[in-house]
Structure 1
């Protein structure tokens, strides 16, 4: 899942971003409403996590603007305000969840994962092709019934390839869906990751390179 984190606290922001990444999320972290608005315009997200008070505005006001523009991505608000009236106001203005500071990282992870799954409700919860079966909710992959051990990044890339089994997935889409601002899109990170994935799948033929474009997952198991 890809998450946008709007938090300007110099200590809390990197701590939250690192914690979410440890739990398998792809995280873009920004410190202003202007940067958050730009990121939402150029990149798809499964969940938005926004602090209420940042230097150039209010994360809740930003959510309200997004809702008015038809952006329905689930949003969780981080705030020091614990009053019921504040939470009710947040829900009425478009927030999907509220987490009062201080909070435990474990609770944030569960809430973000739950909200992110809402984006995927219209997609199959289990993806199947070429002998592969990927269970999105259980974060589990099998090949011909054998359980595979994949890293979070390998799982994310395989999920995108399975969603488009038989069709070419451009490198840019893989980067947008599976990497955050810490990655270097111009480097060979995608090629290296696909190479690792092929080794774990035990077949180079399952994931085909379409030179100059991207990759394609076989819709059917390779013959022979």
Structure 2
């Protein structure tokens, strides 16, 4: 009797590989999203009422500007295309499994933990010289709040297939859906409250407000 080997969890190196592929795509395409956006988009697809085929959702996210199509021609090589699909599939399975777990707390290691980046905190933890260099590179670009890009990706999927997110007839279920989406919409907004929490340890300056962290937990829950 043979037993299947469980897929290895996505590592930092795997997410770096995804980032590198997306960076490479940006050399040939406009408006290629960050992985955090893709992560939110993916979570929404998994939560969606209809099982939207990859041929449809990949085109919406990465489609060619002229044809709207997604395929190997967009990538640097067939190998890069296959690597991207393999990594996407692995993360999809992870997220799908996590969202289906009967957890009672987000502290449970089985709970869904989005791959998000605290950009403000990362820059705040740099040296003064590094921050100055980064400021020149960003050219006064507004930095996203914690998990804001993830929420924008989630809502992009909702807005792309609005018919799949219409309220059900059952009043209680409709109220639940409205509340769940409202929690995510809140995360698409800027965190303009006083920073109180550091996501990079005690030695780094705070960059996320307590209200933001609470809203994040409510959105994921």
User: TM-score scaled to structure 2, two decimals?
Assistant: 0.26
**Where is the helix percentage greater, Structure 1 or Structure 2?**
2
* Larger RCO, structures 1/2 (Cα 8 Å, 6+ apart): 2
